[in-house]
Chain A
Amino acid sequence: MHFIQTVIRRDPWEVEPRLKEIGLTSAGLRRVRDVTCAARANVTDFHAANAAGTFAYQDGVWCLRDEFVDEVWKMERPGGVEAIVSLQSQVRVAFANVDRCCDENHHPLPISDKGSGAESLCERNLFESLPSFAKEQSSLGIPLFYCMIDPDGRVELSRPTIEGKTFGPCVERNFISNGPGDDDGAKQSADQFDDGAVEITPTITRKAA
Chain B
Amino acid sequence: MFNPKKLALARMRRRMTGKGLAQAAGITADTLSRLEKGHRPPDDSTVVKLASALRYPTEFFFGDDPAVIDHDGVSFRNFSKMSAKEKDAALSAGQLGLQLAQWADDRFNLPDPDLPDLSYQNDPERAAMEVRQYWGIGERPIGNMVGLLESKGVRVLSLSEDTANINAFSFWLDGIPYIFLNNFKTPESSIFDSGHELGHLLIHCKGDLRGDRLLEREADGFAAAFLMPANDIRASVQRPITSETIIKAKAKWRVSAFALLHRLWRMKLVSTEHQYRSLCIDLSRRGYRSSEPIGIEREISTVWKQVFSSLWSEKITKEDVAKELRIPLDEVEGLIANMTATSIRPEARTLSIV
Contact = CB atoms under 8 A, between A and B. Distances in A.
Contacts of A202: 110-111, 147, 150-151, 302-303
B300 to A, nearest CB: 10
A106 interface: no
Contacts, number: 95
A42 B302 CA distance: 26
Nearest to B153: A202
A137 B252 CA distance: 50
B277 interface: no
A203 B307 CA distance: 10
Interface string B128-154: 000001001111111110011011100
A198 B254 CA distance: 12
B252 A195 contact: yes
10 contacts: A38-B136, A38-B138, A43-B139, A186-B152, A200-B151, A204-B110, A205-B108, A206-B107, A206-B108, A207-B107
B148 A198 contact: yes
Contacts of A203: 306
A50 interface: no
Q: Which 9 A-B pairs have the closest CB atoms?
A: A41-B138, A38-B136, A197-B143, A44-B235, A46-B235, A42-B138, A199-B143, A186-B151, A202-B151
Contact of A193 (B110, B136, B143): B143
Interface string B229-256: 0011011100000000000000010000
B108 A41 contact: no
B306 A204 contact: yes
Given A185-B111, A199-B144, A202-B150, A37 B232 contact: no
B106 interface: yes
Contact of A200 (B110, B138, B147): B147
A196 interface: yes
A169 to B, nearest CB: 32
B303 A204 contact: yes
A44 B236 contact: yes
B111 A197 contact: no
Contacts of B231: 44, 46
A167 B127 CA distance: 42
B310 interface: yes
Interface residues of B, number: 32
A123 to B, nearest CB: 35
A40 B133 CA distance: 11
B142 A197 contact: yes
Contacts of B234: 44, 46
B236 A45 contact: yes
A129 interface: no
Interface in A163-209: 185-188, 190, 192-193, 195-207
Interface of B: 106-111, 133, 136-144, 147-148, 150-152, 231-232, 234-236, 252, 302-303, 306-307, 310
Given A195-B141, A195-B252, A197-B252, 16 more contacts: A38-B138, A40-B138, A41-B140, A42-B139, A46-B235, A185-B111, A186-B151, A193-B143, A197-B140, A199-B143, A200-B137, A200-B147, A200-B148, A202-B151, A204-B303, A204-B310
Contacts of B236: 44-45
A101 to B, nearest CB: 18
A34 interface: yes
A204 B307 contact: yes
A200 B303 CA distance: 12
Given A40-B138, A190-B140, A197-B141, A207 B109 contact: yes
A187 B232 CA distance: 24
Contact of B147 (A40, A42, A46, A201): A201
Nearest to A203: B306
Nearest to A197: B143
B142 to A, nearest CB: 6
B141 A196 contact: yes
A39 B140 CA distance: 11
Given A44-B232, A46-B234, A201 B144 contact: yes
A203 B235 CA distance: 33
Nearest to A35: B136
Contacts of B136: 34-35, 37-38, 41
B144 A200 contact: yes
Nearest to B136: A38
B148 to A, nearest CB: 5
